[in-house]
Every structure is written in structure tokens, then in C-alpha cells.
Amino acid sequence: MTMVGESHARVILHLDMNSFFASVEQAHDPSLKGIAMAVAGNPKERRGILVTCSYEARAFGIYTTMTVGEAKRLCPELVIVPPDFEKYRTASTAVFDLLRSYTELVEPVSIDEAYIDITSIGGLTHAIEIATEMQQRILRELDLPCSIGIAPNKFLAKTASDMKKPMGITILRKREVESILWPLPIIDMHGVGKSTEKKMHTLDIYTIGDLAQKDETIIKTALGKHGLRLRNRANGIDHRLVDPEAADERKSVGSSTTLPIDETDYEGCLKVFKWLSAKVADRLDKRQLAGTVVMIQIRTADWRNQTRSRTVHNPLYEEQDIYKEAIDLFKRHWDGEPVRLLGITVSNVVPMNELNEQLSIYNFEKYAKEEAVNDLLSQIEQRFGPGTVKRGNG
């Protein structure tokens, strides 16, 4: 079982937990096994959003992000349970700890997936054996199913883990990219979302193969560095290493600067923010990250520190978007005092290739809080009449 020209290549696994939140609930309550069930932000509300659902529920056409009302119409007997994020974190930690019993080269990339570099502990010769043992131990010891992709790089490993669910183990060789990946529609490629798909279509790129064979100059002009990275991956090229410390680095990316003079000019401050936005965007680009929280730091001439932040729905990574949010925060909160230091930080960051995938645990927790506020507002309006309370834009 040798990959042509790749006998000395890295061997990377991508482990993806199957219907993770639902599986954890089933492990805790076996009566939920084998039935159509889902986890929802607010099970009692028809507008509550499904966080995840069992494979039995998926057979009815139910999917993550569907509302409870929509799901119930498709499957009236659907059992819905509220999310228990502490339970999911505990299960996630247990999975990653088990993986680390094989090698330290484990890189968690979300609560329910990780890359593992097994090159030095068996490589390709024992890849299926190692993956099977990991999968069976997670099932036996934690009662949780997972799928594993085996490949010479991260992109192909992640693509492979999606090919057979639940409980699949799939090898994807670089030489198979042309026959297996190239015929697929471009939206099926990790890292390509709806907006990128639209841009690709304007370039007559409809399949992964179209992207792989498109002229580099055209891609770079239209889509920049990110486009070139996607083109490389469409050709099976991805040099990213498995980095056990990457998860810690992903919490935030920022930059600040002490000004040469105590700045009192608004336009002067904007120029600094423009420069900082470019630096932060460049760092995000190098790490291939995007974040949903923008924070600015203002230190005045008398050494008073102020931080102001805003959460956005769509993760930011481009200079102009970061700049727009930063200056809006500055405009709202700067009181005209002389400024000694300015800074921008983007946090709650996720890898770029996950932007269009399942919502993160943090988004669901935020959504659940949002629903609680909506419920309270509804109760107040029912009691005192519509329009009694208006939401602020803070």
C-alpha cells in the first residue's frame, strides 16, 4: 500500500467526530440512540436552531441550522434536547487526550476535529491499523463515533474524512486528486464558500478541476493569495504542518503601536488604524485565520487604557473590513483626548477553511443567549404591548 513517489512523505490523519453534540447526548442517554434526535439552542421554540442532529434524523432531510419548526414538519417524532456545552467540552478533551497517547503531534482545529501526524509512529505502512485502533478505542472507551481521513497533507486528509460517514476510514492519495476531486463542483471544496463560489463562476470555474488548471495569474488577480492557496490545494498541494501549539495561537491576532507624538488629530489616528489593519490582516492571512470579534485599544497621554470591542456575524480577515469596524469603534468612543497608543486585535478566530462549515460551539452559545433575550422581549411585549422595548445597537 505505497503511494507512488510518496513513500517518504508525511502521513496525516484528519479525525472528524460524527454528529458530535448528538453523539455525546446519546452516549449519556442510550435511549436517544437509533432514533431521529437533534440538539437545538431552544428546543421549546419553533424558531430555535438545530445545532446538530443524528444520522437517523438526517434520513428525513433534517440538517444543522434548520429551525425546530422546519425539522418537526419533516419528522414530527423528532426528539430534541437542549445543548450542554460543558458536556461537549469534556468529551472533546477526552478524545484529544486519547489521541495524544499515540503522538504529541495532535492539532485540534475545533471542538470535534483534529489533525494527527503519524509519520514517525508507523507512517503509511501502519496507517490503517493506527486509524482503526483510534476509531475503535474512541467508540469503545467514549461511546463516540468518528471518521478518519488518511493522506499526505492536511487538505487531502480533511477531504478524505468527509468521504465516508459515519465511522469511515478513507485513504486519499495525491495521485487520485485528478480522478476523485477534479470532477466535483467547486462548492464541495474545503475553503470555498458561497461568495468565493460566485467569484469562481465569473472566472468560468465550476469544478475543482477547473480551478486546478486555471492560469495562476488570473486566479491571483481575482482572488489574491487565498485564491492561489486554493488552486494549490485543488492540485493536492498543501505544505501546512501539524502544529500542536496552533490552537493557543488561534485565540487572537493583534497589533499595536506607540505614536511618536501624543496625537489629537482624528485623521492622523485614522491613518494609524489603516496601518494597523493592514498588519493584522497580513498576520491573519499568514496563519489562514479569520475572527468575529474586533477590539481596539486606546491609551491616552495620561496612560489611561480603554478597550472597546464588537462582535460581527461574518468572520473578518480582510484589511478594509477590519479597518471599517475599528474606526467605527474609535469614532463612537474616542473623547478627543490626546492619544499615545493605538491597537487592533481580532479574536474568536477560526481557520479560514472552516468559515463555511458547521457553526462553532461559541456561535451556538452566543445564539442561545440571543434567543434567551428574544424570549424575554416577547414576554414583555405580550404583557405590555408591542414596541414596549426597543433593542439597542451597542
Left (φ > 0), alpha (ψ -120 to 50) or beta: where does 350 sit?
A: beta
Place of cell 486528509: 157
List, as own/partner pairs, every contact residues 184-188 make where C-beta atoms lie below 8 angstroms and the sequence separation is at least 24, other chains included: 184/208, 186/210, 186/211
Q: For residues 116 and 105, is the Cβ–Cβ distance under 8 A?
A: yes
Contact of 346 with 284, CB cutoff 8 Å? yes
Nearest to 83 by CA among 389, 363, 385: 363
CA 288 to chain CA centroid, Å, is: 11
C-alpha distances out from residue 148 to 120, 169, 176, 188, Å: 18, 5, 17, 18
Cell numbers describing residue 265: 488629530
- Cβ(107)–Cβ(247) under 8 Å? yes
Pairing of β 79-81 and β 50-53: unpaired
- Contact present, 103 and 146 (Cβ < 8 Å): no
> Is the CB of residue 41 less than 8 Å from the CB of residue 35?
no
Cβ neighbours of residue 251 closer than 8 Å, sequence gap 6 or more: 347, 349
**Does 321 count as an annotated binding residue?**
no
16 is in an annotated binding site: yes
> Position 315: which residue type?
P
How far is CA 385 from its chain centroid? 40
Q: Which residues contact 101 (CB under 8 A, 6 or more apart)?
A: none
Query: Which three cell numbers, joined as nine digits, stand for 67?
Result: 429551525
Catalytic residue among 25, 56, 113, 319: 113
* Beta-strand relationship, 12-17 and 113-117: antiparallel
Residues 174, 234 contacting (CB under 8 angstroms) = no
Rounded distance, CA 347 to CA 46, Å? 32
Residue 113 a catalytic site member: yes
Query: What is the C-alpha to C-alpha distance for residues 175 and 96, in angstroms, rounded to an integer?
Result: 30
* Residue positions annotated with a catalytic role: 113
Residues belonging to the binding site for Mg(2+) are 16, 112
